[in-house]
Structures are given as C-alpha cells and as structure tokens.
Amino acid sequence: MKESLNKKIHSGEQFDEIRLQALQLSKPAAISFVNPFSYYELQKRDDLIDGIDYFFSDGALLCKLHNLFLPKVTRASFDYSSIAGPFLQYVSDNNLTIAVIGATEAENLKAVDVLRKQYPNINIGYHRNGYIQNAEAVYKELETHNIDVVLVGMGTPYQETFCVNGKKALARPMLFVTCGGFLTQTSIKADYYHPIIKKLGLRWLQRVVMHKHVRDRVIRQYPKFVLSYLYHMIKKK
C-alpha cells in the first residue's frame, strides 16, 4: 500500500478552495476521486498517483476506513449529491469553457443536452465519447477550443491516464476533473439519485440495483478491499 496516495486524499470540505487554487495555476492540473475499486487500481500505477494533483474520497466507506488511521476527511463525489452541482454552476457563472469527454456517443450527447438545459449559460466548447483512439488529436482539439475545464468520465484507470498525459501534452493552463459514471448517470436521469437514497446515504445501493458491473464490483471486490486495507494499515501501525 502506497502512502503517497493516502497523503494526496483531501477532505471534501477543501474542494472549493482547491478548485480555485487549481484554476489559478499557470499549468494544467488534475483532480480525481477515489473509491474502494479505484483505490487499488491506482496502487498499481505510480505515474497516476504522482500525476494527479488532488484526490478526494468518493464514498462513505473509504472515508470511514481512512479516518480510522489518518487525518479525517469528508466525502466529495462528482454527482449531484455532492460537488457536481456547485462545480458546474461555478463553471457557468464564471464563463469558463468546459469540455465534456466520456461515456458512449449516445450517452455523451444526452448528458450534454441535459447539462445545457440545467445550466443555460454553460459554455460547452467541446464534447465527445470516452473511447479515444488518438489522445494527441483530442488534446489538440482542447487547445484549439481554448478549453478551461475538462470533465472526464471514463472510469479508472483510463480517465486518470487521459488526465495525466494531457497535463504533459498541453501548453496552456487547463483543469482536468474526473467524473467516473456521472455522464452515463446524467444521460439516464438529470438528477440520477432518488431523494430518499441521497438522504439516507445509500447511493451505492441504487447503483448496485441498476448496474450489473457495480453489483459485481461490490460483491467481489469491496470485501477484499476492506480486509486488505485494514490489514495493511494495522500492520503499519
């Protein structure tokens, strides 16, 4: 278990401050979110841990485990139960040009349409699906369209790889923000999570019911994650 990842996980309460800080940099920066699945995927990739500037804990489970051993953090997820709404409103209010990359072509088109209806003043300067064969060409498109913020929903480790390579390829300041399944969820329903689900903090349960790949991940991988995380952290202590 790499301490470098744990040290980069910030509290959700710091998100607005870090967002502002990252947007003021004179070079590209990247923000991503960690859940029990992506935590161990990222452990395999030092280049991604080093290349992403800020991580946040995406979900209560990782927060609770993290807080048993390390400085306390609160959740920050890119969905409408957390930071997605305020972030997109900030982009709209400050006339930042955003690129929306990820999901299938149909899902991407639907998600972009939903975002434009939710935020009438949002400036979506570029969008496309997340199945990218030529990343260099996409980075050139981002520069051509003078993009300020890049929302990337491809799943881990693909979205983090795209962000880290983008930081290397781009000359102008640009903020990459990963969003996991947000674009797919938004294409299904504008506010994906049911109000009661959000109130009870059971977002994971709704995803488990609605998506087979999430169901498989929770059943097969999450128990292993909990045991492995506790083992390594207790051993380190």
The answer to whether 163 and 30 have CB atoms below 8 angstroms apart is yes
Secondary structure letter of residue 70 according to DSSP = S
**How high does pLDDT run on average in the chain?**
89
- Judged on CB neighbours under 10 Å (0-12, 13-18, 19+), 40 is middle
Hey, which residues does 9 pair with through a beta bridge?
55
**pLDDT value at position 81?**
86
Q: Which residue has the higher pLDDT, 164 or 231?
A: 164
Catalytic (active site) residue 17: no
Phi, psi of 149 (to 5 degrees): -130, 135
Terminal Cα-to-Cα distance of the chain (whole angstroms) = 13
Both tokens of 115, joined, read 């975002």
Q: List the domains of the chain with CATH numbers.
A: 3-189 (3.40.50)
User: For 13-56, what is each residue's pLDDT tens digit?
Assistant: 999 999 999 999 999 999 999 988 888 889 999 999 999 999 99
Average pLDDT over residues 145-157: 97
Q: What percent of the chain has pLDDT over 90?
A: 68
Nearest to 228 by CA among 62, 77, 73: 62
How far apart are the C-alpha atoms of 197 and 10, rounded to whole Å?
25
> Ramachandran region of residue 30, left (φ > 0), alpha (ψ -120 to 50) or beta?
beta
Q: Which of 13, 105, 107, 160 is catalytic?
A: 107
Prediction pTM value: 0.88
User: For 98-118, what is each residue's pLDDT tens digit?
Assistant: 999 999 999 999 999 999 999
Mention every residue, 6+ apart, whose C-beta is less than 8 A from residue 223. Answer: none
